[in-house]
Structure 1
Amino acid sequence: MEGFDPGTSFGYEVSQRYDEDPRGDEDATVAFLAGLAGLAGQNSALEFAVGTGRIALPLREAGVRVDGIELSHDMVDRMREKPGGDHVDVTMGDMSRVTTGRTYGLVYLVFNTIGNLLTQDDQVRCFRNAAGHLTEDGVFVVECRIPTAPSRSGHQYLDTEHVGLDYVDLDAGRYDPLTQVLDLHHIRISSEGIRLSPIRLRLAHPPEFDLMARIAGLRLRERWGGWNGEPYTAASWRHISVYERAGGTT
């Protein structure tokens, strides 16, 4: 996408509307993550790309101490405006490179956000960074959609996501099979005009993530099709993968 800047893609305007459309699975996400943090025995967690605190704040309310890493100051500023938002310790920077200097029973990265790292090298670095933040019995959780763009005719598409009385939401995407990068525009057409929300994502399937984990000294412990423990099958639209240290016990 010509002119796209990953450093500003989650700027002020995006931060102000980021929480407008809740996904609806936040409670299940928090319950799943809180359970894992408790099993690790430390009740401590680190969220890569903590954003506006959509998951970090309710997880903290569930009794887990949560730190974050985040690239966008605007997203963190939005979190600070929320109740409890000033209690999350955030390290600013690239989640594939910066460190908090601490270890945690749980490191997690949700909602396709690993795709914001646009090269395989950076995604491998992300796994290594997660591994470096884990306690000996800690786990790294990745949530991501199963890519569909590679199978689209001509590697491009235009989807109608929502239709309301006074608005239409569209997704327009073009996929490059050589780089595995999807250029995507979320488009809202309404009585107020046209709003464009561009994003670039590097898409990968679960086996590639498993190999990245192995490079980082981790291994897959379990994989689910949803936060409520739904089985992961060939029909699953997403995966929730839990990685542990390769020398750990199953």
Structure 2
Amino acid sequence: MTTGTDRPTDAEATPGGSAAPGGNSSAYGESLADVYDSLYPAAGPAIDSMVGFLQKLRPAPASLLELGVGTGRLAIPLAGSGYRVHGVDASPAMLAKLHENDSTGRVTTSVGDFSALAVEERYDLVLTALNTFFMLPTQEQQISCLRGIHDALADDGVAVFETYNPQVYHRLTEATTRVGHLAPDALLLDTIQVNQSLQSVLVVHTIMSAGGLRKVPEVSRYAWPAEFDVMARLAGLRVTDRWADWDRSPVTSHSEKHVYVVERQNV
């Protein structure tokens, strides 16, 4: 077991994003909605870099669908940059917090299971950020999500996925603990266990504050890059680029994250 005192980076802090489909993810979002903005601040260089990355792919006022939109950490700055943003999340509490944060009311939302995505509109951009894709717990659900994204994309649209580098967790051979600071009177303790054969990561978030102690479990299933490529092809998509971050830095064995750019195969 290892411990740390500094709050981890986004790629390290938690395998999952804001909320994945189904009862477990909805419970995850409901449990963390009140502290999510402390976990993932909605401003700073990382946000600016992400907006710039998407602007080069499809500039505003393109239409954008964000899956696992959470409290609007990305959606609100994107809407402020001129994108027409719709967000899907499994957690009503997360979406309620998003609308509190969205003072202009520019982001539209819906509660939904994005492993079985069904949308009426087709979008120029589909964004699945902060490891949210890996919160789909099976390969079948991940392929189903990719098929839904295929159908949601405009003919010349692109999908963007931000995931952790599987190697970050696959190399953990024993339980690992990381400690981060949420607030002057609150700590976050993450206990991480990896099942390498299942490509599965279990994180138990323990929040310790003046109000007491709260535990929130989270499971993610990581896919290696070659597997992601095959799943995308099965869904009628193809990976066109893979970067180590929003700054388009090249992927190395030490990269903490992967940013995939995916298009429909018939483009």
Q: Secondary structure at the match of 2:76?
A: helix
Q: Which position in structure 1 is the counterpart of 2:35?
A: 17
User: TM-score, with normalisation over the residues of structure 2?
Assistant: 0.81
State how 1:127-138 maps to structure 2 within 5 Å.
127-138=146-157
State how 1:234-249 maps to structure 2 within 5 Å.
234-248=253-267
Could you give the per-residue CA deviations for residues 76-116 of structure 1, whole angstroms, max 9, x where no partner exists?
A: 11111123463322232101213220111110100000121
Q: Secondary structure at the match of 1:102?
A: coil
Query: Structure 2 counterpart of 1:139, which letter?
Result: V
Question: Quick check: 1:47–1:66 contact (8 Å CA) kept in 2?
Answer: yes
Could you tell me how far 1:214 is from its partner in structure 2?
Answer: 0.6
Could you give the per-residue CA deviations for residues 200-239 of structure 1, whole angstroms, max 9, x where no partner exists?
A: 1112222211111111111111111111111112221110
Quote the Cα distance in structure 2 between the aligned partners of 1:213 and 1:198.
28
1:186 to 180, 202, 205: 205
Q: Which position in structure 2 is the counterpart of 1:108?
A: 127
1:199 to 207, 218, 229: 218
Q: Which position in structure 2 is the counterpart of 1:219?
A: 238
Q: Quick check: 1:177 aligned with 2:207? A: no
Question: Quick check: 2:28–2:218 contact (8 Å CA) kept in 1?
Answer: yes
Please give the root-mean-square deviation of Cα atoms over the aligned residues, in Å.
2.3
**Which moves more between the two structures, 202-211 or 189-198?**
189-198
Quote the Cα distance in structure 2 between the aligned partners of 1:49 and 1:166.
28
Distance 1:160 1:98, change over 3 A: closer
Question: Quick check: 1:37–1:64 contact (8 Å CA) kept in 2?
Answer: no
Q: Secondary structure at the match of 1:10?
A: helix
Query: Structure 1 counterpart of 2:193, which letter?
Result: R
Taking only the aligned residue pairs, the percentage that are identical comes to 33
Query: Structure 1 counterpart of 2:78, which letter?
Result: L
Query: Structure 2 counterpart of 1:152, which letter?
Result: L
Q: Quick check: 1:81 aligned with 2:81? A: no
Q: Quick check: 1:120 aligned with 2:139? A: yes
Q: Which position in structure 1 is the counterpart of 2:6?
A: none
Distance 1:165 1:7, change over 3 A: closer
Quote the Cα distance in structure 2 between the aligned partners of 1:211 and 1:152.
25
Quote the Cα distance in structure 1 between the aligned partners of 2:209 and 2:85.
38
1:33 to 30, 54, 57: 54
Q: Secondary structure at the match of 1:185?
A: strand
1:65 to 70, 84, 100: 84
Could you give the per-residue CA deviations for residues 123-168 of structure 1, whole angstroms, max 9, x where no partner exists?
A: 0011111111111111110000012333222xx3223343798665
Quote the Cα distance in structure 2 between the aligned partners of 1:81 and 1:57.
11
Q: Quick check: 1:95 aligned with 2:114? A: yes
Quote the Cα distance in structure 2 between the aligned partners of 1:161 and 1:206.
29
User: TM-score, with normalisation over the residues of structure 1?
Assistant: 0.87
Query: Structure 2 counterpart of 1:202, which letter?
Result: R
Could you tell me how far 1:10 is from its partner in structure 2?
Answer: 0.7
**Which moves more between the two structures, 77-86 or 63-72?**
77-86
Distance 1:9 1:137, change over 3 A: same
Could you give the per-residue CA deviations for residues 48-76 of structure 1, whole angstroms, max 9, x where no partner exists?
A: 11111110111011011011211111111
Quote the Cα distance in structure 2 between the aligned partners of 1:15 and 1:166.
18
Using CA pairs under 8 Å that are at least 6 residues apart, name the structure with larger relative contact order, 1 or 2. Answer: 2
Quote the Cα distance in structure 1 between the aligned partners of 2:137 and 2:158.
24
Question: Quick check: 2:117–2:145 contact (8 Å CA) kept in 1?
Answer: no
Q: Which position in structure 1 is the counterpart of 2:11?
A: none
Could you tell me how far 1:32 is from its partner in structure 2?
Answer: 1.3
**Which moves more between the two structures, 182-191 or 98-107?**
182-191
Q: Which position in structure 2 is the counterpart of 1:152?
A: 172
Quote the Cα distance in structure 2 between the aligned partners of 1:72 and 1:166.
26
Query: Structure 1 counterpart of 2:38, which letter?
Result: E
Question: Quick check: 2:123–2:152 contact (8 Å CA) kept in 1?
Answer: yes
Distance 1:133 1:85, change over 3 A: farther
